[in-house]
Structure 1
Amino acid sequence: MRISAAAIALLLTSTAAIAADLAPAPVEPVAPVVVPFSWTGFYAGANVGYAFGGRDTVGIHDPAFLGDLGKLTAKGFLGGLQAGYNYQFDNIVVGIETDFQGAQIKDTVHGVVAGEPGRARSDIKWYGTLRPRIGYAYDRFLIYATGGLAYGNIDYKLSYNGASFSDSNTKVGWTAGAGLEYAFTDNLSGRVEYQYVNFGSYTVRGAGTLHSKASPDFHAVRLGVNYKF
């Protein structure tokens, strides 16, 4: 019995030792790989904003210059859609964007020129832009500059010395601005953007030799959201 007990004890000890040798070695946890955010890709979104600071001086000509009726300081609300594409290499982001805005950017001015009363009104009903963009990305923050083509419908009406004339057409000009965008998720981002829009100078003609020079422009601040596909 003593021999049997000793044999059993020896057998159990050997089995425990073999089991210890066969136990798997502890595995060190592997840190997850963090993929840096990239601005590369197509996106689309919406925006709202406010326009202000237009400085369209209304001059009366018949045919010589008679004087300035006043200054149209166009202002009003706007809102629309935008879409574009970004490509990021290192921290530099380049892309192109187009947008289309419905607007109520308008003003009216009254004045007297050469002893005769007059009234002018400008109303920008919609406009759009097509712009390249270049920026610098710091992870999910993007600061950028932009500029390019602008076009819009401008309804211009003027009355002077009993005569009324108007022009309502699509005009082409230019725009420049800058913005800051932040990506809340891999797909959703928000932005604040400033734009200056200028539609150049053109002539609005009335009866005979009566005409005026229009030069509509404005500044705009817009808040927007984008979805990156």
Structure 2
Amino acid sequence: MKMRMSAAVTALILTSTAAFGADLAPSSVEPVPPAALPFSWTGFYAGANIGYAFGGDDRVGVHYPNYIGDIGKASGKGILGGLQAGYNYQLDNIVIGLEADIQGSQIKDSVTGSVAGIPGKGQSDVKWYGTLRPRIGYAFDRFLIYATGGLAYGNIDYKLNYDGVSIKDSSTKLGWTAGAGVEYAFTDNLSGRLEYQYVDFGGYRVGNANLSTKATPDFHAVRVGLNYKF
């Protein structure tokens, strides 16, 4: 009888010990997913763009040989498209960078009028242009707003016909540009942008000692583009 009671007590103690041990066993822990890293604009990128140019204020004056008046104002307009490449560096929310682009364009205009009772016609055509610009912006994670400005250069055809005499110039000119834009990163590598630029090629003389004009080609441009960050 005593042996049976001892066996029963022993079994009860072993069962309680096992249950208590089970209560002390560590419960399974769900794995914690790694924290998502913030997006960075730092890196090289390249892309393409397309846009439209308009406006400007190029007054076509006639010097015959002294200044005698304006034929009118030429405001070039037309489509443009090209490639861009650059590098960004991000420090906290500030993004600084350098970008170069080259654009094929058909930014044309012609204006007719008369000076001293004699009809005349002026024409301009920006065949291509490019820029080299630093950029500075502020990033809201994947959204970037920026300002930009720097060097502009381009090939411009310029013509003036007056009193049966024609003068023209076709050459590459230097100027300046300034603008601003917004850009959004759809993925870690692909981003899209909307950008405004003002481009001014300054003033230069076209013609000879008998007939000349001062060309002042400039225009506004709005462009949309895509970039791939490496």
Same fold per superposition (TM over 0.5): yes
Q: Which residue of 2 aligns with 1:194?
A: 196
Other structure's SS at 1:38 match:
coil
With the length of structure 1 as denominator, give the TM-score of the two structures. Answer: 0.92
Other structure's SS at 1:36 match:
coil
**Structure 2: segments with no counterpart, 5+ residues:** none
Which residue of 34, 49, 52 corresponds with 1:50? 52
Q: C-alpha separation between the residues in 2 aligned to 1:19 and 1:158? A: 101
Q: C-alpha separation between the residues in 2 aligned to 1:45 and 1:62? A: 47
Q: Which residue of 1 aligns with 2:123?
A: 121
**8 Å Cα contact 2:56/2:76 also seen in 1:** yes
**What count of residue pairs does the alignment treat as equivalent?**
228
Q: Which residue of 2 aligns with 1:185?
A: 187
Which residue of 139, 142, 145 corresponds with 2:144? 142
Q: C-alpha separation between the residues in 2 aligned to 1:211 and 1:54? A: 21
**Structure 1: segments with no counterpart, 5+ residues:** none
Other structure's SS at 1:20 match:
helix
Q: C-alpha separation between the residues in 1 aligned to 2:166 and 2:113? A: 15
The answer to whether 1:82 aligns with 2:84 is: yes
With the length of structure 2 as denominator, give the TM-score of the two structures. Answer: 0.91
Q: Aligned partner of 1:203: which letter?
A: R
Q: Aligned partner of 2:132: which letter?
A: L
CA drift of 1:107 comes to 0.5
Q: Which residue of 1 aligns with 2:96?
A: 94
Q: C-alpha separation between the residues in 2 aligned to 1:159 and 1:210? A: 9
CA drift of 1:120 comes to 1.1
CA drift of 1:157 comes to 1.4
The answer to whether 1:36 aligns with 2:38 is: yes
Q: C-alpha separation between the residues in 1 aligned to 2:178 and 2:20? A: 77
Q: C-alpha separation between the residues in 2 aligned to 1:181 and 1:14? A: 67
Other structure's SS at 2:22 match:
helix
* Matched ranges for 1:152-191 at <5 A: 152-191=154-193
Q: Which residue of 2 aligns with 1:73?
A: 75
Other structure's SS at 2:96 match:
strand
